[in-house]
Chains A and B, each alone.
Chain A
Amino acid sequence: MASRGPRTEALWGYAFIAPTGLGLAIFYLWPVLQTAYFSFTEWGAFGGHTWTGLENYTRLIADPEVGRAVLNTLTYTALGLLGIPLAIVFAALLNRPGLGGVTLYRTAFFLPVVTMPVAVAMLWRWLYNGDYGLINQVLALAGIDGPNWIADPATALYALIVVGVWSSVGYNLIIFLAGMQAIPKELYEAAAMDGAGRVRQFFSITLPMLSPTAFFISIVSVIGSLQLFDLVFVMTGSGQAARANPAYSRLQTVVQLFYERAFVTDDRGYAAAIVMALLVLIAVLTVLQFRLQRRWVHYV
């Protein structure tokens, strides 16, 4: 029967991928090319644009605001990685055989993951409030005069990192827990026979076996951190209101700068160049991590 032939199968194949294929082509692949093109143009007041060559990129390199945003974003990304060992430790504690209450603990850690990031940011903004925030009120009980956390240039970025780690540790914990449960029990049994204690087992079996998972998480975290927006946007707002925050220059991130240029000041060509630079930054750091993985990731 002809309708069962490979040609029919091929037609069905194309039909099945057509909706997503067209959607991705129109809304994702074509926009990438367009953004690359826009990054070489300047936008007029009425949406028209003219080719300006590398001008956006030379402007970008000399722009102190871009430099600051990149530095802030890299600091946030680097310090945010500290959340990974934290997640491993908690996953190891939860993975202890016969431990009661695991569902309860897991739920507690996961609550910040499923809560709307805007709501999380708002909540922390309140906790960090210099006058009425709970954190400073608790510190006051101990006689410490806390700063105005997110409006003080000395503390703002670190305050942000605490929220970032707090809200992502549960997500990483779940992935580590899944990774730990995939480690063959026989390895631990054999180690126990050889007299290795729990701590020794953790360092000689769990950690090396978990390193591919840790690698995956570090790739995803770095990419995610480089795209930081929601937290900062809610903490500072945008436009004039944001600039009123004395810590503004310590909080501004690359994506926030992109948002401001693209949709607040309507400087879309420059915004496109900023986001192209972000793509390069992500690519470089991802390739670097793949290079470094040989030093610390153990594949079985």
Chain B
Amino acid sequence: MSERRPLGVHAVLIISSLLMVAPFAWQIITSLKTLSSATAVPPTFLPEGRWDNYAKVFDLLPFGEQFLNTVLMAAGRVAGQVLFCSMAAYAFARLRFPGRNLLFGLFLSVLMVPPQLFVIPQYQIMSALGWLNSLQAIIVPGLFSAFGVFLLRQFFLGLPREIEEAARLDGAGPWRIYWSIMLPLARPGLVALAVLTLLWAWNDLFWPLVVNTDPEKMTLSAGLASLQGQYQTDYPVLMAGSLIASLPVIAVFVFLQRQFIQGIAHTGTKG
């Protein structure tokens, strides 16, 4: 039986893909214009090669510092969550201890609360520690994640028990088993969590906005958002800035597309 060629399907998908991508294309074109040609009526569709807009971003904001802050925050949160969440997830999946289910329920309860509920007391903790406007303020609360524990526990539950039991008979302790046997086996789960944590950390706005108000200590998303409400905004420069700010995660997505998509898909299919 021969299939009809899916021309109609392609037509719909091509048009909608263009709707998804066209705004970004316009962003790139705008970022290469002068302000006067960006606001020209009727519009011009050719980019003009004003690459100095990309340099001007660094005058408009302490962009280099904010970029570094964002990288360090994302790296810290990813490393912390992958380590701490995998430890807890392994314990909940494989070790027996009194109160295990109760504690796991307590962990899960964090997932159900809207994050804004944590913010005022977290702010006070940071203030009491003297951590306002610091790197640790934007990293530390993000080291711990109930979602990460939940996600990885599902992975550990799916791994074969035999390997673990063999190792135990060979005299390996829980740390050895976790570190040298279970972690390598859970790699796809760890990558999924790392990728999702990177996405959330990089794009996070609310917490960095609240806790770091000094432009030098801000992250990129807060830095860009702080430009709002200023009149006479130089849109080409702003477009260049938000393009640079988004680029690292887009690059990671392009390279790790499979893991990214599996990570997202996992948030939905495993219950």
Contacts and interface: CB of A to CB of B under 8 A. Distances in A.
Interface of A: 3-4, 6, 9-14, 16-17, 19-21, 23-24, 26-32, 34-35, 38, 90, 93-94, 96, 98-99, 101, 103-119, 122-124, 126-127, 131-132, 134, 137, 140-141, 166, 170-171, 174-175, 177-179, 182, 213, 216-217, 223, 226-227, 229-230, 233-234, 236-242, 244, 255, 258-259, 262-263, 268, 271-272, 275-276, 278-279, 282
A99 B109 CA distance: 42
A178 B264 CA distance: 9
A174 B13 contact: no
Contacts of B175: 12
A109 B22 CA distance: 11
A263 B210 contact: yes
B96 interface: yes
B121 A19 contact: no
A20 B193 CA distance: 15
B149 A233 contact: no
B268 A175 contact: yes
Interface of B: 3, 6, 9-10, 12-13, 16-21, 23-24, 26-27, 30, 38-43, 83-85, 87-88, 90-92, 95-98, 100, 103, 106-107, 109-110, 113-125, 140-141, 143-146, 149, 168, 173-175, 178, 199, 202-203, 205-206, 209-210, 220-221, 224-225, 228-230, 235, 238-239, 242-243, 245-246, 249-250, 253-254, 257, 260-261, 264-265, 267-269, 271
Contacts, number: 284
A259 B113 contact: no
Per DSSP, chain B at the interface is helix
A182 B269 contact: yes
A102 to B, nearest CB: 9
Nearest to B24: A111
Given A24-B146, A175-B265, A178-B268, 12 more contacts: A20-B144, A105-B17, A111-B20, A116-B203, A116-B246, A117-B221, A126-B235, A132-B38, A141-B42, A170-B20, A230-B206, A282-B114
16 contacts: A10-B98, A13-B97, A17-B87, A19-B87, A23-B141, A34-B121, A96-B9, A105-B17, A116-B245, A174-B265, A213-B269, A216-B271, A255-B116, A263-B123, A275-B114, A278-B116
B97 A24 contact: no
A78 B268 CA distance: 21
Given A19-B84, A132-B39, A227 B21 contact: no
B123 to A, nearest CB: 8
Contacts of B100: 13
Contact of B264 (A122, A137, A174, A240): A174
A35 B9 contact: no
Contacts of B38: 132
A126 B239 contact: yes
Given A6-B96, A20-B144, A166 B20 contact: yes
Nearest to B118: A31
A79 B125 CA distance: 38
A30 B106 CA distance: 12
Contacts of A236: 228-229
A123 B27 contact: yes
A122 B242 contact: yes
Contacts of B118: 27-28, 31-32, 35
A44 to B, nearest CB: 14
Contact of B113 (A107, A132, A137, A279): A279
Contacts of A34: 120-121, 124
Given A24-B107, A34-B121, A122 B224 contact: yes
Contacts of B205: 117-118, 229-230, 233
Given A123-B239, A234-B228, A117 B203 contact: yes
A152 B271 CA distance: 42
A140 B42 contact: yes
Given A31-B117, A110-B261, A179 B206 contact: no
A213 B268 contact: yes
Given A24-B110, A259-B206, A114 B90 contact: no
Contacts of A122: 224, 238-239, 242
B84 A13 contact: no
A123 B23 contact: yes
Contacts of B24: 111, 115, 123
A279 B43 contact: no
B110 to A, nearest CB: 5
B260 A114 contact: yes
